Structures are given as structure tokens and as C-alpha cells.
Amino acid sequence: MKRWIRFKRDNAQIGFGTLEQDQVVEYCGDLWSTPTPSGATLPLAQVSLLSPCVPSKVVALWNNFRELSTKLGKAAPVHPLFLLKPSTSLAGPDDLIIRPKDYAGKIAFEGELGIVIGKTCRNVSVDAADDYIFGYTCVNDVTAAELLNEDINFPQWCRSKGFDSFSCIGPVIATALDWQQARVITRMDGVERQNYPLSDMIFSPQQQVSLISHDMTLLPGDVIACGTSVGIGSIKEGATVEVFIEGIGALSNTLPSRGASSVPRSASAALAG
């Protein structure tokens, strides 16, 4: 198993490679094609981690866990229920979660597993889906909760979840994960708020990739956020949310006190290319 990262050096140069304990093995070329080692090895302490990929879109599922579905009194869907989050919502490890301007309501966390697509994917079968899955990562699917149903005529899923910094992704892409044995653990300021098994998914990662690829073309680097389970909650001002999945690691992001408006490093790096 490899653990792929994107990083920024002190000179602002962006690179990618694999994380091996506290060392970064740098690669060059195309991550999604034929990456080759550059020959350079860097101490992890000398770089800043960015989101491990720059998706053209994040496909975020709703009602994909049996326990939460039962709690909400919802029937299990027959096809993945999803929304799209824009590429500008991207945030990486240790990036701030920025409160939208003029929004004073609740901001919620949702710890999730993310599927990272490795090659152009359209109309694939369930049996072939693994060939299109590059690996897995952690996701915090952030929501401006009070905007979702602000208009009784139209649930605003994309608006409430599409703000800058609301798609936290990282810290690595793990190319292999025994997801059926893994759990998602979400902590806020060190206090556990979610702890649920990925085996409770209604649609497996392979089913998600197959079914969604019949709805739209998935591109290399796109992320499918597999949905969340029980324990969703509001992020306190100044609190740090950590999403942990064994085999991937911990993704940490902080909602600063009101008034902060900086652009997440991963988003600014993506815009810079």
C-alpha cells in the first residue's frame, strides 16, 4: 500500500509523492498515469501538506448508512442519493474552515470515507469498479446547516455544502484499504463525536463508483464522499475537528473565531496550478 500526498515547500513549490513514516519520497510526472520517483527525499517537517488531490468535483452521498437511515426514519435508497460540491470548496490538512460571510448560523461536521478516482470512469460495471478506484482518503463534509432548508420550496444542498473550505480532504490517499473492517472516528477538540463502521454502508464503494459513473463521467482526482452516519454535530467556534480512519490517518481542520477570512492553502494552491 502506498500513501500519496501533495505538498508545498517553503519556496511555495508544489509537489507530490509518497509518505513513508516521517519522510516524503518525491515523484514527478502524472500521479494518475505513470509517476516516477524524482530521486529526492524530504523530511515531512520541511513541507506543508495540501489536499492529496484536486477534484473537478466532489460527489457527496446522503442516506448511505443503515444506522442513520433507521434513526431518520428513511427507507434505504435504491440508487445513491448525492449532490455535487464545487472544486472551489476544497480544503486540505490543517486548513481553516472559513465561516461564510454574513452567515451566523450553525456549521456542522460530517466525518466520511472518500473514494478517489484514478482514471476516467463512465458506465463501468461493479466488477470493474476497483480498476477505477485509485485509493481512499478522509473527508469532512462541512455544512452551513441553517441554509439547507432556508427556503421551504427547495432544499439547498449545494449552497449549504459548497462554500470555500467546506470540502476538507486528506491527509493522504491510501491505495489499499480494508474498508469493511475500518471505522470512521470523528473528534472535536479531542472528544469523540462519531465512531461508526464502514461495513454499515448501503452502497459499497464499488457500487457507488459503478452507479454514479452511469449518471456522469468521473475524472481522475474526483472524490466520492461516501456519506456519514450518526453523530453529526455543530462545530464550536475555535474548535478543531479530526476525522480518523485507520490506514489513512487523521484529517484535522479548525473553525476559527468569527471574522477570519483567509483562503485555504489547498484551494489557493489548486488555483495556482
> What integer pLDDT is reported at residue 264 of this predicted model?
58
What's the pLDDT score for residue 260?
Answer: 52
Residue 262 confidence class, pLDDT cut points 50, 70, 90: low
Exposed / middle / buried, residue 241 (Cβ in 10 Å: 0-12, 13-18, 19+): buried
Contacts of 72-78 with C-beta under 8 Å, sequence gap 24+, read 76/202, 77/202
Give the model confidence (pLDDT) of 163-181 as tens digits: 999 999 999 999 999 999 9
259 vs 260, higher pLDDT: 259
* pLDDT for the residue 104: 95
Residue 62, amino acid: W
Strand partners, 201: 65
- The answer to whether residue 183 scores a pLDDT higher than 50 is yes
Beta strands 240-245 and 233-234: pairing type?
unpaired
Pairing status of strand 57-62 against strand 223-225: parallel
Is 90 exceeded by the pLDDT of residue 273?
A: no
pLDDT at 268 over 80: no
pLDDT for res 259: 60
**CA angle in degrees (0–180, nearest 5) for 222-225-226:** 130
Can you identify the CATH homologous superfamily of domain 53-271? Answer: Fumarylacetoacetase-like, C-terminal domain (3.90.850.10)
Per-domain residue ranges of the chain: 53-271
- pLDDT computed for residue 270 by the predictor: 46
| Statement: residue 68 has pLDDT above 90 | yes
CA distance 97 to 142: 8
pTM over 0.85: yes
**pLDDT number for residue 257:** 85
Average pLDDT, stretch 119-128? 98
Confidence tier at 190 by pLDDT (50, 70, 90) = very high
Q: Taking Cα atoms as reference points, which of 231, 185, 230, 256 lies closest to residue 66?
A: 230
